[in-house]
Structure 1
């Protein structure tokens, strides 16, 4: 591979924004890809994947480059040199890369590969926490899986088409896909591509959604004509799936504390042809109280650490702090206690997170049931990236007596 100066400089600029300015990697990459209209797909792929790769392995590369918490541009170039050297890429004769100790880099890589927290590039405290909650063996396998690049999985919008028809249509755009066993409306993209530009997406025939994420809405067991509440809807990925499962029949109320996210949901719903979605901003306790004892089904896709989706959000490893985990657990229990009151007698509730930690999952459900005798536990699913090949998720199905 030959390195091109303008592409590499873009990567360095992006890393500076992520490491020093605290910006989110996905937003930074979106900005970088708009930088030069002359870039082809290969150029854009290099910028995006190299940026994500260095974010994912930040600690490992920084340790090899002998850099502490000082990500000056000079040090960012040293980290980039480590990335290139470990991939066998010949370094060009640029001043920023002068004196790169190629042989020493490879030696230090072998040395650090024996230490999990450095090899897998995670903070000490997070490594210790996950060992305590999951055990040494499970955590070692899980963090290794979470450091792999996520595949592109599509969810067929069954309001507009079938999985078989969508597959055939995508093939006409040279986007080859395959079915995903155990996931009834999922298609796996065989090669990464920008599928947002083709007409199938513009016409609302599919959404990009991890295969395990698709299981959450199915787990809620909705039927056409029901009154369903998506209590933490965000931008609506699961609301859109619920609308499809309900065949656009019944009432789907999507709630969130952020109005901007619900505006995005409305836009996506129009593209998807999902007409039974009603959005409501949670701007006071009255919004929830008005729905007490009203819903056949309630989905609580709770705020969480996001440790199950590190494959697609690698910078979360560096943004999350111990204090945040304490706060989010408190928020999860508070939401579960209050929002569960929207379930009517005989109705069902799903509590879900994209976390792999029992303290955010099973323990929260256990605590809730201890103080809510009118709810019974039906079943739960614990999905790990290391065993499923997709994102880590937890979901528990509860029923109100």
Structure 2
């Protein structure tokens, strides 16, 4: 399993960004391969990290440095596409041209590579001239690598310290784990990882959280095969903790996906939960079943269903309900830079989020807790959805969870939790904890 190390390669207010290429020359065949991968990732909407891992692993004749060069160039273009387009002064440049522009920033573009990328001589001359301009004089939308849609969302939000946030979103994410205390306590897991020459340190505020010091192969470790841990960003672990599920309670994970947060809930409660995991896609739940079996959780109730529609009669009366809603994924740009450029049906997405929240409310018992979370930065997917729900349901109330170790600056004046990669070292998350009224309204 390949992961990236946390770095900050491109200060939006400072120097021009540069790809961190391994030593040696870049050849036209490597440029062409990176261009093909970029086109496939973009056109098919594929996750960049998994696609690169799969495609490069299949090219066994390529040297390690060559594979790393292709990987770095591909990710650099995904992260810095708006900057590269500005350099090229082209409204719709090819992926090969963008790669050539990236190579120019690394002082690695020669005439052979320029020709392979289809760049005319006047284009390379113009590119060099534009790269001589001060980077901090570029428009914010360009420096921050925002698509037109994302730029509109950014301006609507107006985040504090925008340069710092943009720098963090351009960086590579750390590798975080959540430990399974039924396997061993966290200190024992740190020792097991150390025996495999993997450095791990506790994450402040997260009793089961660990952060690796560098990338590592994890899935073949005995501790992983025994269900000793799962790879999970610290922000996702804060979502799990916000539910504050207690042993013996009935818990519903309404948008479980492959089940990372479901497993986190079970691990937090030492397996003593009556947990139901739902998702629209049955194949995702199959992955959850495999992961849960590794943890020893064989009695997990799984339902493949459309949770935007009325739920089955038996899915009601839950003590805790989690809605990890589908969203733009803007808070995960460090891990999924391809999402910066994804086309999003904002109206349809907002409708899905509202419908999921309504069904989750119907499934929550009187006095129970409902947590609505997204890995999005944009208020229209977060505050707007929850505030609209509260306006339609006056008996419901927002509540701040009593989470020891939660940074004070993560809690907004309204009581929402906003996690930012630049301030909290995790993916960007929004978390709203809602308390159901003690009595159901009468018809």
TM-score (norm 2): 0.81
The yes-or-no answer on 1:395 pairing with 2:431 is yes
Aligned equivalent of 2:360: 339
Aligned equivalent of 1:80: 99
The yes-or-no answer on 1:368 pairing with 2:411 is no
Deviations 1:309-328 (A, max 9, x none): 1111111111133xx12221
Deviations 1:9-65 (A, max 9, x none): 432221121245554423431331232234565444333333112111112113213
Work out the CA distance in 1 between the residues paired with 2:152 and 2:429: 21
Deviations 1:64-105 (A, max 9, x none): 13333242xxxx333222222212447485552687777754
The yes-or-no answer on 1:290 pairing with 2:305 is no
Deviations 1:124-180 (A, max 9, x none): 332132112235x44443233211111111111222122211111112222112222
Aligned equivalent of 2:156: 132
1:168 to 1:110, Cα distance in 2 relative to 1, 3 A: farther
1:79 to 1:70, Cα distance in 2 relative to 1, 3 A: closer
Report matched runs for 1:17-96 at 5 Å: 17-39=40-62, 42-71=65-94, 76-89=95-108, 91=110, 93=112, 96=116
Aligned equivalent of 1:306: 329
User: Contact 2:31–2:96 (CA<8 Å) still a contact in 1?
Assistant: no
Aligned equivalent of 1:166: 189
Secondary structure of 2:223's match?
helix
Count of matched residue positions in the alignment of Structure 1 and Structure 2: 393
The yes-or-no answer on 1:263 pairing with 2:278 is no
Q: Deviation of residue 381 (structure 1)? A: 0.9
1:394 to 1:236, Cα distance in 2 relative to 1, 3 A: same
Aligned equivalent of 1:383: 419
CA RMSD, aligned part only? Answer: 2.5
Q: Out of 242, 253, 265, which is 2:276 matched to?
A: 253
User: Contact 2:100–2:109 (CA<8 Å) still a contact in 1?
Assistant: no
Work out the CA distance in 1 between the residues paired with 2:62 and 2:178: 29
Q: Greater shift after overlay, 99-108 or 244-253?
A: 99-108
Report matched runs for 1:135-284 at 5 Å: 135=159, 137-282=160-305
TM-score (norm 1): 0.89
User: Contact 2:374–2:382 (CA<8 Å) still a contact in 1?
Assistant: yes
Secondary structure of 1:308's match?
helix
Secondary structure of 1:196's match?
coil
1:19 to 1:282, Cα distance in 2 relative to 1, 3 A: closer
User: Contact 2:232–2:260 (CA<8 Å) still a contact in 1?
Assistant: yes
Q: Greater shift after overlay, 277-286 or 365-374?
A: 277-286
User: Contact 1:349–1:399 (CA<8 Å) still a contact in 2?
Assistant: yes
User: Contact 2:256–2:279 (CA<8 Å) still a contact in 1?
Assistant: yes
Q: Deviation of residue 303 (structure 1)? A: 1.3
User: Contact 1:382–1:393 (CA<8 Å) still a contact in 2?
Assistant: yes
Aligned equivalent of 2:370: 349
Higher helix share: 1
1:103 to 1:20, Cα distance in 2 relative to 1, 3 A: same
Q: Which runs of 5+ in 2 are unaligned?
A: 1-22, 401-415, 439-443
1:191 to 1:40, Cα distance in 2 relative to 1, 3 A: farther
Work out the CA distance in 2 between the residues paired with 1:22 and 1:337: 29
Q: Deviation of residue 297 (structure 1)? A: 0.6
Aligned equivalent of 1:118: 142
Q: Deviation of residue 272 (structure 1)? A: 2.3
Work out the CA distance in 1 between the residues paired with 2:222 and 2:128: 46
User: Contact 2:87–2:101 (CA<8 Å) still a contact in 1?
Assistant: yes
User: Contact 2:42–2:338 (CA<8 Å) still a contact in 1?
Assistant: no
User: Contact 2:239–2:431 (CA<8 Å) still a contact in 1?
Assistant: yes
Q: Greater shift after overlay, 90-99 or 311-320?
A: 90-99
Higher RCO (C-alpha 8 Å, min separation 6): 2
Secondary structure of 1:78's match?
helix
Secondary structure of 2:59's match?
coil
The yes-or-no answer on 1:315 pairing with 2:338 is yes
